[in-house]
Structure 1
Amino acid sequence: MTHPLIATQKFTAVRSIALASALCCAGLASAQTGPGVTLYGLADAGITSVSGLKAGTVTQVASGIMEGSRWGIKGTEDMGGGYKTIFTLESRVELDTGSVTSRPISGTQLSDRYSQAALLGLPATLQPAVAAVDGLLAAQWGVNLTGNLFDRQAYVGVITPVGAIMGGRMYTPAFETNAMYDIMETQSGLSAGQIVAFPAALEIRKSNALQYRFVKDGISGSFMYALGEVAGDSGKGRMLGLNANYKTGNFSVGIGHNQANNELGQSSLTATVLGASMNFGNDKLSGMLIKISDDNPNGLSAIAPALTPVVGAAAAGLVQNAFLNAFKQDGTLSHIGYRHVTGPHAISVAYTHYNDNRPADADVTSYGVAYTYSLSKRTDLNAVVVQYDNKNLAQVAPGGNGYIGGVTSSAGTGSTGLAFGIRHRF
């Protein structure tokens, strides 16, 4: 069972819900390596500066400023009669280190509402137990910390005259809808999902998944069933997802929904995305609402058994319940963005707000601007400035598409992110 904190990997770019895009990684230039097999990828890196952190302002070289750097192999075979076999194997790569893993800019620090006994509603005497749990949770906070080679995508499937059937590790339906109606298409720290990355508000990808997809006459959609693969109880750890989208020449509207169970088989993280966009020549306006709820957070049932030998069963139960309450989610994310493209220039502005209905009232607002200058069809320069305003117990710091910003120095402290980079597709 994957711990939910591992799912805080940054929202990576998905250009379209359309079948051809999802299956063939449209938009990436590629090189043929043999009959029906293509090597492709994207390299994105630059300089970032993030304020408001515990260490002050941190400036660093980062990979994935606009999009997560990656390389992959994809293939297709036409079997005739409208049938094709397809496969994709896609790996992330951190250009600053050459690794396939990364950790937040803020390190292993967690937000105050997860690390202070008083904010968890616990007596001060249990602070050492809270610190012990935080150590375990922080150790799992990052991107692909298990080091899986093809962590981004790994699937095989068949395209038929009535749709495609695939199996493996794939993007989830609700996340694809989010990617379509985020004006940034999940790119940079200005994208909508960046402010709800911890705890994860959306399952980005799922392993052990089966998916059906279709596209016809402007209507597209998908249905996903991800198996929990727990012996004796198929409901533990499983996820269901679906989406639907309708697109005309200049207008698009869509809905996506994910519902996951935790390691005990209880209904856990649920997200429903509703979005719409309209094109006006060189301009695009896009808006989105995401309803997020989770009454039974995943992966926390092991806290009490681990603490019982140290603090006793009663105290261990109190600590586990406190963390369960802290990681529950109930909120709404709203996003609106505008993009203007003229010649090699593209400028985007966006405003995103997360309204947290939990007692922590950890509301976050982000706003800013992103600029792209295309040097060629495959290479561009990018600049992003984004401000995060944290209210009450919120502590979110900006990251990028390929890396996690983490948390600010204290509750309610805001943060500014500046990023300059170059992106090349191959």
Structure 2
Amino acid sequence: MKKTAIPLALTLALAAAAGATQAQTSVTLYGIADAGVSYVSGQEGAKKRVVSGIMEGSRFGFRGNEDLGGGYRTIFTLENRLELDTGSVSNRPASGSQLPARFNSAAALGLPAPLQPAVTQVAGQLGATLGVNLSGNLFDRQAFVGLVTPVGAVLVGRQYTPIYELSATFDTMRTESSLAFGQVATFPPSVEIRTNNALSYRLQTGPWTASTMFVFGEGATTTGRMIGAIAMYRTTAFAVGLGYQTRENEKGEKALTNIAVGASASLGPGTLYAQYVNVKDEHPGGLSPVRAALTPAIGPVFAAAVTNAFSAALVQDANAYHVGYRVITGPHTISASYNRYDDRLARNADVQSYGAVYSYAFSKRTDVNVVVTRFDNSSNAQTAPGQNGFLGGVTTEPGRDSQNVALGIRHRF
């Protein structure tokens, strides 16, 4: 990846007006421009689309570094999300605000028919949240500052979560394309990718890498907190990793929790990857405001019944599995993998995906990519494939399968 060093005195000219001190350091401008054409079957609306973020989400960012001496450094990262097809910083899935069918009817939620208007209202509120960076934050991907010391690094700000980093390490696709492990379970999300208000500690020594993270609740340190930790051992021949992560909801109850184990090993001309992630969320968060909004219209008893029904529909208890193989030879990269989300609840909304991806590198910075992925949905599942840069959404009905064929070009700078 080509990097362009820019003196801090130039990039932080506005800060100088506020009295900032010019230091002997540099800032690196970097980014990815990734776009192409994608075909997805089984959804309403346009099946063929120009999209941004087939292999990796398009972005640009700044990394800063200052050597303080004695093994100490200060660093920062500010990373923006960018949609090449529209120039926006946010996107929605092709299926828009459509939710899986089990969220759309009173009968499916186990509620009496007269409560259908309330169900429709709540489904609309939840559907409006489907998408990426809908609030339009400038540096949605990452925004943190840190101090690197001889005994590890401390980072503060918006960061990737430990479990996501471990999962990405042992994903054959490295989260790229519709074939990525995480694509089989995007609603409700099976793993939290990034988080605000995070304080993390990272340590790397020899083949060992470890990190731990504590996330403060919004406005309080007693609710909405998250803790997580991972440890990995990596050599050129093989690697293994283990992680744990859990989040509280706004009531302080234990919510989305993951245990992950991953491994990779050199085998023949390529690398074999495998991982397992346990997904459990017995107290889904975010429904307290919904209940408060319903109460004036239908009363506290019915408002509680509706929100409790939605909470039950959002509960997760599943095992997710991944296995794949990647070969790199000259400019050619060929990857194939299989992913499965095994729903252990009564609804049994299992999803599996499999396929292959081929990349041809014109240079170290530019490649073209061909993606072929199939999603098989059980009778109660309706997951559609997305890509690295956006959510796939849902198919038109439960049990309907979906295929994705994509062709794109990626340039790193």
Q: Give the TM-score range, shorter chain.
A: over 0.9
Match of 2:344 in 1: 357
What secondary structure does 2:111 align onto? coil
Match of 1:294 in 2: 281
Q: 1:51 aligns with which of 21, 38, 41?
A: 41
Match of 1:328 in 2: 315
Match of 2:74 in 1: 85
What does the per-residue CA deviation read over 1:239-275, in whole Å, with 9 as the maximum and x for residues that have no partner? 0010000012210000122100001111100011100
What does the per-residue CA deviation read over 1:208-244, in whole Å, with 9 as the maximum and x for residues that have no partner? 110100100100010100100334xx22111001000
> Which 5+ residue runs of structure 2 have no aligned equivalent?
8-24
Match of 2:10 in 1: none
Match of 2:301 in 1: 314
Task: Give aligned-pair identity as a percent.
Answer: 52
Match of 1:341 in 2: 328
Match of 1:10 in 2: none
Give the TM-score normalised by structure 2: 0.94
Q: 1:158 aligns with which of 120, 128, 147?
A: 147
- Equivalent residues in 2 for 1:268-287 (5 A)? 268-280=255-267, 282-287=269-274
Instruction: Indicate whether 1:305 and 2:289 are aligned.
Output: no
Q: 2:173 aligns with which of 184, 203, 212?
A: 184
Structure 2 counterpart of 1:418, which letter? Answer: V
Instruction: Indicate whether 1:41 and 2:58 are aligned.
Output: no
The answer on whether the counterparts of 1:259 and 1:269 sit within 8 Å (CA) in structure 2 is yes
The structure whose Rg is larger is: 2
Q: CA deviation at 1:118?
A: 1.3
* Matches of 1:305 and 1:409, distance apart in 2: 31
What does the per-residue CA deviation read over 1:272-315, in whole Å, with 9 as the maximum and x for residues that have no partner? 11000002364010000000000100101222221122222222
* Matches of 1:271 and 1:141, distance apart in 2: 22
**Worse-matched range after superposition: 298-307 or 102-111:** 298-307
Match of 1:228 in 2: 217
The answer on whether the counterparts of 1:235 and 1:261 sit within 8 Å (CA) in structure 2 is no
> Which 5+ residue runs of structure 1 have no aligned equivalent?
1-27
Match of 2:227 in 1: 240
What secondary structure does 1:310 align onto? helix
Instruction: Indicate whether 1:392 and 2:379 are aligned.
Output: yes
How well do the aligned residues superpose, as a CA RMSD in angstroms?
A: 1.0
Inter-CA distance 281–29: structure 2 relative to 1 (3 Å threshold) = farther
* Matches of 1:303 and 1:316, distance apart in 2: 9
- Equivalent residues in 2 for 1:194-205 (5 A)? 194-205=183-194
Q: CA deviation at 1:392?
A: 2.2
Structure 1 counterpart of 2:377, which letter? Answer: N
Structure 1 counterpart of 2:61, which letter? Answer: G
Q: CA deviation at 1:134?
A: 0.9
Give the count of matched residue pairs.
396
Match of 1:21 in 2: none
* Matches of 2:91 and 2:166, distance apart in 1: 26
What does the per-residue CA deviation read over 1:13-61, in whole Å, with 9 as the maximum and x for residues that have no partner? xxxxxxxxxxxxxxx4321122421100000000001000133x61100
What does the per-residue CA deviation read over 1:317-360, in whole Å, with 9 as the maximum and x for residues that have no partner? 11111001000100000000001111111110010011001222
What secondary structure does 2:244 align onto? strand
The answer on whether the counterparts of 1:237 and 1:264 sit within 8 Å (CA) in structure 2 is yes
Kindly indicate whether structure 1 or structure 2 has the higher relative contact order, using CA contacts under 8 Å at least 6 residues apart: 1
The answer on whether the counterparts of 1:30 and 1:41 sit within 8 Å (CA) in structure 2 is no
| Dislocated runs of 4+, deviation >6 Å | none
What secondary structure does 2:47 align onto? strand
Give the TM-score normalised by structure 1: 0.91
Q: 2:368 aligns with which of 378, 381, 385?
A: 381
* Matches of 2:114 and 2:344, distance apart in 1: 29
Q: 1:118 aligns with which of 91, 107, 112?
A: 107
The answer on whether the counterparts of 1:240 and 1:259 sit within 8 Å (CA) in structure 2 is yes
What does the per-residue CA deviation read over 1:148-194, in whole Å, with 9 as the maximum and x for residues that have no partner? 10010001111100110110011110000000001000000000001
The answer on whether the counterparts of 1:366 and 1:387 sit within 8 Å (CA) in structure 2 is yes
* Matches of 2:122 and 2:218, distance apart in 1: 27
Instruction: Indicate whether 1:102 and 2:75 are aligned.
Output: no
What secondary structure does 1:197 align onto? coil
The answer on whether the counterparts of 1:360 and 1:392 sit within 8 Å (CA) in structure 2 is no
Match of 1:31 in 2: 4
